[in-house]
């Protein structure tokens, strides 16, 4: 998606159009950048005291991106000098901070400002926002609202009995308590998802022992250069050869994202192993099992415990450069696969009656991904409440717009998460491009509001649902954050990345009530 080839001044200098962006993470900054280029007045409301979103909030040890940074970066800064292929949280936070400074975006951001509610005032074709900051509650107005609040930032606390009784320090991995010194402590960690796989190897070095409670093992994708710096030769090329970074990004794009999709798609005629969904998926499964066997050569019992019994990509696959198997083999790390019964004052008790003593309890239990846009209250035309409309099953057209919510747009909304590879930044840029295109439509046509047609929205969602059921994550019954309480895949985009790019290239006026 490229720079807007228009400005508001050229199209409709006097038209009232003030846009509020909610969130100054990666998506909010991308939106701000494009609106600035188009000369559309905007402000960003950010509840935190800095930019960065998830890269500001997640500070657990070992936190890093698991999509190569030469893809996981803005297309408008494509020669950024990344230190690693998969950079650390700190490098990413610095990148977003620098971007906001270089583009002079911070003067548009109100930090420490949380949006409590947004209500559409139909008679005046505008949104009224209730915001809370240090000074109290206030109301703001805007013609259009862009929600850039992310999917994975509301921690999910498990419903395990006795959790509140634990006597020692206890925290969620996304709210890491850096005041708790883990040196020499007995630590219990619940969960073995992307977060745990990154921090457990590090805390295992400090703790006296770690009890790791695994409910479902993750598939590991061998990634030898996961922690490596970018090689000097490649770094030289990226720094010095004109447009090399663009070509490198294009090559990564073709190789990673689009290539993997066929290996995770369902073959309806597949009659092979029930732990795979097609012959190619089975091939991938066997490769991944071989990796586990090779990484844990002398411990078939451990291999059994960590081998998933669901198809590859039914849950998010995690990168590994040997660190996770090595951690599991440490004598002071105990992998517990017995279900948790409850938490006691002094540790975690499993269903077999065993008590696993701990001084510190860390919940690496993920996020409430399905609760899009909570806890905000969003009220559209005719007083329709967005969350009541959704009823726990969030849907939107292209993940961006919802009927009855004129001029309200989402970035990284329902069904825009990418599963196997590729960069969510690419998706956000596509959504931003589309939203900016919608604003252009408003200005060109002299309209005050634009609203997605219900039949367009419903037809799109039916397509998405059909396609998701033909992917490993939709077909498998394994529990994952890709699915909502109704069992529907509400997070994932089931098509190719190119397909999202094509569909968001420019809005079709016929899709809207304008
Ligand atoms: O969370 P998760 P995460 N009793 O939901 C377990 C992004 N991210 O924070 O699988 C026992 O994956 C749960 O078990 P199960 C990335 O998109 C990215 O690790 O549900 N266990 C699981 O093992 C990622 O996918 C990066 O059976 C319980 C774990 O807790 C997403 O965020 C880094 C339980 C939760 O794993 C989420 O990752 C970090 C219970 N009651 C995050 N409840 C990178 O870019 C939950 N679990 C590298």
State whether the beta carbon of 160 lies less than 6 angstroms from ligand 1: yes
Phi and psi torsions of 80, nearest 5°: -65, 140
Residue 254's pLDDT is what?
80
Residue 495's pLDDT is what?
93
Q: Are 147 and 374 in contact (CB under 8 A)?
A: no
197 Cα to the center of ligand 1, angstroms: 9
506 Cα to the center of ligand 1, angstroms: 35
Query: Which residues contact residue 299 at a Cβ distance below 8 angstroms, ignoring those fewer than 6 apart?
Result: 329
Residue having the nearest C-alpha atom to atom 11 of ligand 1: 215
pLDDT for 280-329, tens place per residue?
999 999 999 999 999 999 999 999 999 999 999 999 999 999 999 999 99
Confidence tier at 257 by pLDDT (50, 70, 90): low
Dist CA 448 CA 288 (whole Å): 54
159 Cα to the center of ligand 1, angstroms: 15
Dist CA 62 CA 88 (whole Å): 7
Average pLDDT over residues 429-436: 98
What is the ipTM for the molecules in this complex? 0.98
Confidence tier at 2 by pLDDT (50, 70, 90): confident
DSSP one-letter code for 320? E
State whether the beta carbon of 190 lies less than 6 angstroms from ligand 1: yes
Residue 77's pLDDT is what?
83
Dist CA 414 CA 461 (whole Å): 10
Q: Are 30 and 74 in contact (CB under 8 A)?
A: yes
**Predicted confidence (pLDDT) at residue 421 exceeds the cutoff of 70:** no
Confidence tier at 159 by pLDDT (50, 70, 90): very high
Query: Which residues contact residue 179 at a Cβ distance below 8 angstroms, ignoring those fewer than 6 apart?
Result: none
Dist CA 360 CA 43 (whole Å): 42
Residue 139's pLDDT is what?
97
State whether the beta carbon of 150 lies less than 6 angstroms from ligand 1: no
Query: Which residues contact residue 303 at a Cβ distance below 8 angstroms, ignoring those fewer than 6 apart?
Result: 292, 293, 296
Q: Are 296 and 302 in contact (CB under 8 A)?
A: yes
pLDDT for 89-144, tens place per residue?
999 999 999 999 999 999 999 999 999 999 999 999 999 999 999 999 999 999 99
The number of beta carbons lying within 10 Å of the beta carbon of residue 12 is: 15
State whether the beta carbon of 369 lies less than 6 angstroms from ligand 1: no
Q: What is the pTM of this model?
A: 0.96
């Amino acid at each position: 998606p490229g720079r807007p080839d228009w400005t508001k001044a050229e199209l409709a200098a006097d038209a009232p159009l003030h846009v509020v962006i909610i969130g100054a993470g990666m998506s909010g900054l991308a939106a701000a950048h494009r609106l600035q280029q188009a000369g559309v007045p905007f402000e960003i409301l950010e509840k935190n005291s800095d930019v960065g979103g998830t890269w500001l909030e997640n500070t657990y040890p070992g936190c890093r991106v698991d999509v190569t940074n030469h893809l996981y970066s803005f297309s408008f800064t494509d020669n950024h000098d990344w230190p690693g292929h998969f950079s650390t949280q700190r490098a990413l936070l610095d990148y977003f901070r620098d971007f906001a400074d270089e583009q002079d975006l911070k003067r548009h951001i109100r930090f420490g400002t949380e949006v409590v509610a947004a209500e559409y005032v139909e008679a005046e074709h505008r949104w009224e926002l209730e915001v809370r900051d240090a000074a109290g509650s206030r109301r703001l107005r805007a013609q259009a609202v862009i929600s850039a609040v992310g999917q994975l930032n509301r921690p999910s606390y498990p419903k395990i009995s006795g959790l509140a009784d634990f006597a020692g320090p206890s925290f969620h991995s996304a709210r890491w308590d850096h005041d708790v010194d883990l040196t020499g402590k007995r630590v219990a960690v619940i969960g073995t998802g992307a977060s745990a796989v990154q921090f457990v190897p590090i805390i295992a070095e400090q703790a006296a022992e770690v009890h790791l409670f695994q409910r479902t093992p993750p598939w590991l994708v061998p990634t030898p250069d996961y922690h490596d710096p970018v090689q000097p030769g490649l770094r030289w090329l990226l720094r010095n050869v004109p447009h090399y970074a663009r070509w490198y990004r294009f090559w990564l794009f073709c190789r990673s994202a689009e290539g993997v999709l066929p290996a995770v798609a369902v073959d309806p005629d597949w009659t092979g192993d029930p732990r795979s969904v097609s012959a190619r998926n089975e091939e991938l499964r066997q490769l991944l099992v071989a990796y586990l066997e090779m990484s844990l050569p002398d411990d078939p019992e451990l291999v059994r415990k960590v081998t998933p019994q669901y198809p590859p990509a039914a849950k998010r696959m995690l990168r590994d450069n040997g660190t996770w198997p090595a951690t599991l083999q440490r004598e002071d790390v105990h992998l517990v696969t017995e279900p948790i019964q409850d938490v006691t004052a002094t540790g975690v008790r499993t269903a077999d009656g065993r008590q696993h003593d701990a001084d510190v309890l860390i919940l690496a239990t993920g996020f409430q991904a399905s609760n899009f846009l909570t806890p905000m209250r969003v009220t559209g035309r005719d007083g329709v409440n967005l969350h009541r409309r959704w009823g726990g099953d969030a849907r939107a057209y292209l993940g961006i717009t919802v009927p009855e919510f004129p001029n309200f747009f989402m970035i990284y909304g329902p069904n825009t998460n990418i599963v196997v590879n590729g960069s969510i930044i690419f998706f956000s840029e596509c959504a931003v491009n589309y939203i900016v295109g919608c604003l252009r439509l408003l200005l060109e046509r002299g309209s005050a509001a634009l609203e997605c047609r219900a039949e367009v929205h419903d037809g799109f969602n039916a397509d998405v649902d059909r396609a998701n059921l033909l992917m490993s994550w939709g077909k498998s019954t394994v529990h994952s954050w890709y699915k909502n309480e109704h069992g529907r895949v509400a997070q994932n985009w089931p098509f190719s990345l190119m397909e999202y790019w094509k569909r968001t290239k420019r809005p079709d006026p016929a899709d809207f009530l304008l």
